[in-house]
Amino acid sequence: MANKWQELWQNKKLDNETPTLAKLIAMVGWKTDKGDLSTEAWLDFIAGFSGKLATKPGDAILEVGCGPGGLLLPFYQQGHPVCGIDYSESLVEICREVMPAGEFHAAQASQLPFADGRFDIILSNSVCHYFPDHAYAEAVLKEMARCLAPGGRGAILDANDAEKQDAFMEHRYARYGGKEEYEKQNSELPQLFYTKAWFVATGEKYGLSGYTEDQNIADYYNSKFRFNYFFAKR
């Protein structure tokens, strides 16, 4: 799945900076109209979906597309066994530095290097819009279901809502000063959109019972165009 997105993420580095949570958030581009999303808003977001998943102490957690580790770090600090995969080797190296007792692999999301049923919780945050097509996304969801323990829970977070695609694109054009400039800078960086029904139906194929809800993160400017899919393995 090598493409311009992979090249972009592979080039992300901290340049000898101390890898604070705020810097990890900034690396993955979570922005508000006033700058980077605050650590307080980020931790509120994590607490919100963690509660919906009924996360318990000691739950083994996997993140698919972990980036530099900003989502996993609070769970790691709480004592959870954490694992992550990302196709960017440079971001995986940051995870290993930040969470030395965790397990991290440079791998494709469609080919998870883990045994069946290993994890209690599987997460994927703000990643699925980078997938090349829905067939790849289905392969990822199938792999997540395979690696999830019976009764385990998971979430695919911050997915592009197909029903809001036109509004999202208008918003993007405005941020870049017009459609022409946006397309000039992003012609090789497409984003994939999903219907909510697609996630629910696809998950059912692989033994996942799920539901969706709109994303709701204060001041995060993509929030109104995104949704979350929560699921549990039967």
- The per-type count for the chain, helices as H runs and strands as E runs, is 9, 9
List the domains of the chain with CATH numbers.
Answer: 4-233 (3.40.50.150)
Cα–Cα dist 66/134, whole Å: 20
Which phi and psi angles does 41 have, rounded to 5°? -65, -40
- Bridge partners, residue 227, by sequence: 159, 214
Q: What is the pLDDT of residue 4?
A: 67
Q: Is 88 within 8 Å of 28 (Cβ atoms)? A: no
Q: Is 200 exposed, middle or buried (0-12, 13-18, 19+ CB in 10 A)?
A: middle
- The count of other CB atoms within 10 Å of the CB of residue 26 is 16
Report, as ranges of residue numbers, the positions in the chain whose pLDDT lies below 70: 1-9
Going across the sheet that includes 208-214, the strands are: 103-106, 82-86, 61-64, 119-125, 148-160, 226-233, 208-214
- DSSP secondary structure of 60-75: -EEEET-TTSTTHHHH
pLDDT (tens digit per residue) in 33-43: 788 999 999 99
Strand 82-86 with 103-106, pairing? parallel
Q: What is the pLDDT of residue 8?
A: 64
- DSSP secondary structure of 190-232: ----B-HHHHHHHHHHTTEEEEEEE---TTBTTGGGEEEEEEE
